[in-house]
Amino acid sequence: MEQVWIEKYRPKTLSEVVGQKEIVERLQAYVKIKSMPHLLFSGRPGTGKTTCAIALVREFYGEGWQLNFQELNASDERGIDVVRHKIKDFARMAPIGSDFKVIFLDEADALTPEAQAALRRTMEMYTRTCRFILSCNYSSKIIEPIQSRTAVFSFRPLRPEDVKEYLGRIASAEGIEIEADGLEAIVYVAQGDLRKATNSLQVAAAMGTKIDDEAIYRSTQTVKPDEIKDLINTALSGDFAKARKSLEVILIENALSGEDLIRQIHRNVYDLPIKERDKVRLIDKIGEVEFRMVEGSNPRIQLESLLAHFALAGEDIL
């Protein structure tokens, strides 16, 4: 089986990391002085948190980096026992050929408040021999005592040019051709998530060596932006029956969930050539419908309700 590209092309050093220049420079400063505090990496998925953690440890320890490194995922075991046993046992062991070892705790925001309180105490007790790197999507879910003991790094979504640069490296190494519209499609689908962009490219590449927007949208089960715009404009024009029929085609042909589709509708509303006040009214309704879906309402009925609202609102907007 072909190796997963996200692992195959994962940067091995901090200098290879794309899209997080300021963070990389701060981490490289720690490498130069051969010391670092506890770290807290916060940001959306696919922005390079795990990559930076592993690259940092590689540069600290060189070839034997795995001897002084332990990676755990808090979403697998999120209770207090994982802190009291696995983490504490590793933290109390002496480092090998270094002043300290590193524990990387991924998805730390999944830890219960009790487990985080126990972790805080462990971080205090073993600071001399162990450093912690915590990774989370939402720093607000990490208790204040831990935040105050760490240097916080906020990872932002990658810019389109950074995504394109990274994918260009992979395409060159794998001998595949990406059309310009294919790259734009990946950027649209990924929304700053480099892991999603890489996986989308690999899936599309399995269908052929020439990749265009059609291949990307088909392989990722994403509706083309133009189709979403047509759906919205049809509803706003007052032709509810045609909009309802278009909705049915989109849902069936793309096998989309209601939540996936409403997120795409939400993204495209901002590009409508209408007044800001009218956009506010539409976004307000989209938020209400999305909430109803999350709470368990029938997605098809809620989407048709949204189109009906657009049809009525369109009388004042257009």
- Give the model's pLDDT for residue 257: 85
Other Cβ atoms less than 10 A from the Cβ of 246: the count is: 19
- Give the model's pLDDT for residue 126: 85
3-state secondary structure 263-310: HHHHHHHCCCCCCHHHHHHHHHHHHHHHHHHHCCCCHHHHHHHHHHHH
Query: Which CATH architecture does the domain made up of 160-219 adopt?
Result: Orthogonal Bundle (1.10)
Sorted by where each begins, the domain ranges of the chain are 5-155, 160-219, 225-317
- Give the model's pLDDT for residue 265: 93
Q: What is the pLDDT of residues 21-53, one digit of tens each?
A: 999 999 999 999 988 999 999 999 999 999 999
- Kindly report the CATH number that applies to the domain delimited by 225-317: 1.20.272.10
What pTM value is reported for the model? Answer: 0.83
Identify the segments of the chain with pLDDT beneath 50. 1
What angle, 0 to 180 degrees and rounded to 10, lies between the N-to-C axes of helices 276-294 and 258-269? 170
- Give the model's pLDDT for residue 139: 87
130 forms bridges with which residues in the sheet?
101
The token pair that represents 99 in the structure block = 């002043």
- Kindly report the CATH number that applies to the domain delimited by 5-155: 3.40.50.300
